[in-house]
Amino acid sequence: MFDTVLVANRGEIALRVIRTLRRLGVRSVAVYSDADAGARHVRAADAAVRLPGGYLDAEGVVAAAKATGALAVHPGYGFLAENTAFARRCQQEGLVFVGPPPEAVEAMGDKIRAKETVAAAGVPVVPGGAEPADDLAEAARRVGFPVLVKPSAGGGGKGMLVARSPEELPEAVESARRTAQAAFGDATLLIERYVADPRHIEIQVLADAHGNVVHLGERECSLQRRHQKIIEEAPSPLVDDAMRSRMGADAVRAARAVGYVGAGTVEFIVSGDQPGHPAFFIEMNTRLQVEHPVTEMVTGLDLVELQLRVAAGERLPLTQDDVRMDGHAVEARVYAEDPSRDFLPTGGRVLSLAEPEGEPGVRVDSGIQEGTVVGSDYDPMLSKVIAWGPDRGTALRRLDAALRATTVLGVTTNIAFLRALLADPGVVAGDLGTGLIERRLGALLDGAYGPGGLPADVVSAAALILQDRLAGTAGDDPWDVPDGWRLGEPAWTTWPLSARDETAEVRVRGLPRRAASVAVDGATPASARLAGGPDALTGRGDALVTLDGLTSRFACAVSGGTVWLGRDGRTWAVTPHEPGDRGDRAGAGRAGDGVVRSPMPGTVLLVKVVVGERVTEGQPLLIVEAMKMEHTVTAPSDGLVAELPVRAGQPVDMDAVLAVVHDEAGESPAEPAPEGGTGAATVTGGS
């Protein structure tokens, strides 16, 4: 085994690899970009080296390995994991790249070549066509619409777009090509027949350098949004022993076809409504996969340890007959995104963090800590919560409980949405499909956020915390309280509050910590009392709020005038504002004032209009990109483009003004948007 291993990655996967290194007694070296100085993975490793050029800085990684005496480099996933030039550089420098031989990565890294190679080995592939051999429009006509346009070098669902008709194809190709170039540096595309609502089932394979290849069974990853996995499980509720050995044999054949060594994943789609159909190969990921923990939990194996042993030249310690699957495991990916705002990426500083610890069958692979700043430079995945149970029902229940116990304040996440998804009847029944989320989106959002309105105890808690802080310096002496308390006739203080595009007016009277009254939106006042709350020093803590004798417990944090409250995996960022003003950033980018703002921090990718141009409502104005995802920003109304203060390539903050559209008379329309007015930003495709 290696003495020292460098981990060329960040976040949860770097931490996960370091964990195994520690268990094996191997010294670990982390690397970090300037944005990640002080990050969790840097502190967890035995040594850490700054990468001036960030995580894609191959030369920096090689130099760091030499400087620290590392003999092997584990690339995690993403970044340099599938970069054959880097793998070859490692070889040149006498470093072991913990991954397959460069030739295998090359053969599989390109979806077009991969399909050709495995098809020749007798593995079924989805019908399609590919550049440069085929004209995409002609190939699409041949296989029939709808078709899926894919970047050949793609990954993570990026840049994949469905074209339902010949008319839709040119735009899908244009956008897919742009994303492919930006995200993967390679604009080559392929098209495939779009299989309606398929199930994504993938096989984990493991090969050593002595010709042994085994598979570790399947994972089902059908719960996806825009081709990006959200929840994954092992085993698949669809797969029986016969199907498992059939798919396993295909996967092993695919791996052998490219001389594979190490851990890899062979991905298939299975038509949901034609169960007799074969599982079609779609691609092979020549690396550790995000969802590998579910396989680890049902097989009891440590895939990172096996990767290291194989890389060190050892034989696989097990044969196919030794592979056992026990129980069921489910993983949920926690993303910095806001499902209630069309899943736009969020960001911010983690003010307070709670993750389940030591619960039976629960594993948390997290990359964040209190103080972590989540920006737009990297993938928005913050952590993974994984639960095992002797049966699927237990695993799902444990996962839900673990998500309920996860609270991230300061950065909006998808946790409430994940919980709603786990409760979906189709999910509970194991009746999965890649279209499930889109189809059930309305119900899932209702389940996550309620059908409307802010819970009274949430806004009451926020108002009490704000009132208490107003009185804060005064301690307990009622005479010093600057507002809301006068001898003889206690006054009401009104807190107009907003959170998640909703508003509430909360009136508070009295001292929150002793005896107060709270009235929400004109309702009958309730007796109220606050215990705990944000700590004066750290700005965070637990708050107990009692309303008419009923106590609710929240995690809370205060920052920049916003009160963050969390309970059961749900969070609210409550902001006070002037009466009559919607106050929060919900107004950003909405129709009404003609000002179009950036829905997220990112970079302007493309400006599609010019100043003075006449536009119609909904017409694309610009494309903003964050985390390699494209977001089309559209005109809020008919009119003329009056201002366009940004240009392509320019980084923009959340809420930055991107354009101003005036009506024909040259005036900005005065009508304010209706409550909950629609944002002018829409997300396009899976790009």
Chain residues in the site for ligand ADP (CB under 6 A): 77-78, 82, 126, 148, 150, 154-158, 160, 184, 192-195, 198, 200, 224, 227, 229, 267, 269, 282-283, 285, 289-290, 379, 434
CA distances from 272 to 135, 230, 275, 282, 382 (A): 29, 19, 6, 16, 31
DSSP β-ladder status, 337-338 and 262-270: unpaired
Beta pairing partners, 330: 233, 387
Q: Identify which of residues 184 and 572 has a Cβ nearer to ligand ADP in the complex.
A: 184
Q: How far is the CB of 140 from ligand ADP (least distance, A)?
A: 12
The tokens describing 83, both together, are 């970069």
Q: Could you tell which of Mg ion, ligand ADP, none binds residue 218, using a CB distance below 5 to 8 A set by kind?
A: none
Q: Identify which of residues 347 and 639 has a Cβ nearer to ligand ADP in the complex.
A: 347
Q: Identify which of residues 148 and 646 has a Cβ nearer to ligand ADP in the complex.
A: 148
Q: Could you tell which of ligand ADP, Mg ion, none binds residue 82, using a CB distance below 5 to 8 A set by kind?
A: ligand ADP
Q: How far is the CB of 290 from ligand ADP (least distance, A)?
A: 4
Q: Could you tell which of ligand ADP, Mg ion, none binds residue 633, using a CB distance below 5 to 8 A set by kind?
A: none
Q: Could you tell which of Mg ion, ligand ADP, none binds residue 227, using a CB distance below 5 to 8 A set by kind?
A: ligand ADP
Q: Give the interface size with Mg ion as a residue count (CB under 5 A).
A: 1
Distance CA 615, CA 423 (A): 43
Q: How far is the CB of 226 from Mg ion (least distance, A)?
A: 13
Q: How far is the CB of 220 from Mg ion (least distance, A)?
A: 13
Q: Identify which of residues 192 and 400 has a Cβ nearer to ligand ADP in the complex.
A: 192
Q: Identify which of residues 80 and 311 has a Cβ nearer to ligand ADP in the complex.
A: 80
Task: Indicate the residue type of 438.
Answer: E
Instruction: Give the burial string for 425-452 (b: 16+ CB within 10 Å, else e).
Output: eebeeeebbbebbeebeeebbebbbeee
Q: With contact defined as beta carbons under 8 Å apart, do 285 and 155 qualify? A: yes
Q: Helix (H, G, I), strand (E, B), or coil: what is residue 264?
A: strand
Q: How far is the CB of 291 from ligand ADP (least distance, A)?
A: 6
Q: Could you tell which of Mg ion, ligand ADP, none binds residue 192, using a CB distance below 5 to 8 A set by kind?
A: ligand ADP
Contacting Mg ion within 280-339 (CB under 5 A): none
Q: How far is the CB of 79 from Mg ion (least distance, A)?
A: 17
Q: How far is the CB of 110 from ligand ADP (least distance, A)?
A: 10
Distance CA 298, CA 291 (A): 12
Q: Identify which of residues 268 and 554 has a Cβ nearer to ligand ADP in the complex.
A: 268
Q: Identify which of residues 148 and 182 has a Cβ nearer to ligand ADP in the complex.
A: 148
Ordered DSSP codes for 542-580 = EEEEEETTEEEEEEEEEETTEEEEEETTEEEEEEE--TT
Q: Identify which of residues 60 and 78 has a Cβ nearer to ligand ADP in the complex.
A: 78
Q: Could you tell which of ligand ADP, Mg ion, none binds residue 10, using a CB distance below 5 to 8 A set by kind?
A: none
Distance CA 86, CA 84 (A): 5
Phi/psi of residue 581, nearest 5 degrees: -105, 140
Q: How far is the CB of 129 from ligand ADP (least distance, A)?
A: 12
Q: Identify which of residues 150 and 419 has a Cβ nearer to ligand ADP in the complex.
A: 150
What is the widest separation between alpha-carbon atoms in the chain? 89
Q: Could you tell which of Mg ion, ligand ADP, none binds residue 154, using a CB distance below 5 to 8 A set by kind?
A: ligand ADP
Q: How far is the CB of 184 from Mg ion (least distance, A)?
A: 13
Q: Identify which of residues 100 and 154 has a Cβ nearer to ligand ADP in the complex.
A: 154
Q: How far is the CB of 126 from ligand ADP (least distance, A)?
A: 4
Place of tokens 């008319």: 167
Q: How far is the CB of 612 from ligand ADP (least distance, A)?
A: 39
Site string for Mg ion, 252-291 (x = CB under 5 A): ---------------x------------------------
Instruction: Give the burial string for 375-393 (b: 16+ CB within 10 Å, else e).
Output: bbebbbbbbbbbbbbeebe
Q: Identify which of residues 160 and 344 has a Cβ nearer to ligand ADP in the complex.
A: 160
DSSP β-ladder status, 4-7 and 657-662: unpaired
Return the number of other C-beta atoms located less than 10 Å from residue 622's C-beta: 24
Q: How far is the CB of 222 from ligand ADP (least distance, A)?
A: 7
Give me the residue whose beta carbon is nearest to ligand ADP: 155
Distance CA 88, CA 75 (A): 13
Q: How far is the CB of 283 from Mg ion (least distance, A)?
A: 5
CA distances from 623 to 271, 298, 322, 626, 643 (A): 34, 43, 52, 10, 16
Distance CA 199, CA 520 (A): 46
Q: Please choose, from the candidates 222, 418, 407, 406, the residue with its C-alpha nearest in 3D space to the C-alpha of residue 339.
A: 418
Q: Identify which of residues 60 and 566 has a Cβ nearer to ligand ADP in the complex.
A: 60
- Which residues have a Cβ under 8 Å from the Cβ of 372 and sit 6 or more positions away? 39, 40, 349, 350
Q: With contact defined as beta carbons under 8 Å apart, do 241 and 248 qualify? A: no
Q: Identify which of residues 111 and 582 has a Cβ nearer to Mg ion in the complex.
A: 111
Residue 516 burial by Cβ neighbours in a 10 Å radius (0-12, 13-18, 19+): buried
Q: Could you tell which of ligand ADP, Mg ion, none binds residue 195, using a CB distance below 5 to 8 A set by kind?
A: ligand ADP
Q: Could you tell which of ligand ADP, Mg ion, none binds residue 200, using a CB distance below 5 to 8 A set by kind?
A: ligand ADP
Give me the residue whose beta carbon is nearest to Mg ion: 267
Distance CA 537, CA 330 (A): 38
Q: Could you tell which of Mg ion, ligand ADP, none binds residue 145, using a CB distance below 5 to 8 A set by kind?
A: none
Instruction: Give the burial string for 271-296 (b: 16+ CB within 10 Å, else e).
Output: bbeeeeeebbbbbbbbbbbbbbbbbb
Query: Which residues are near Mg ion by CB under 5 A?
Result: 267
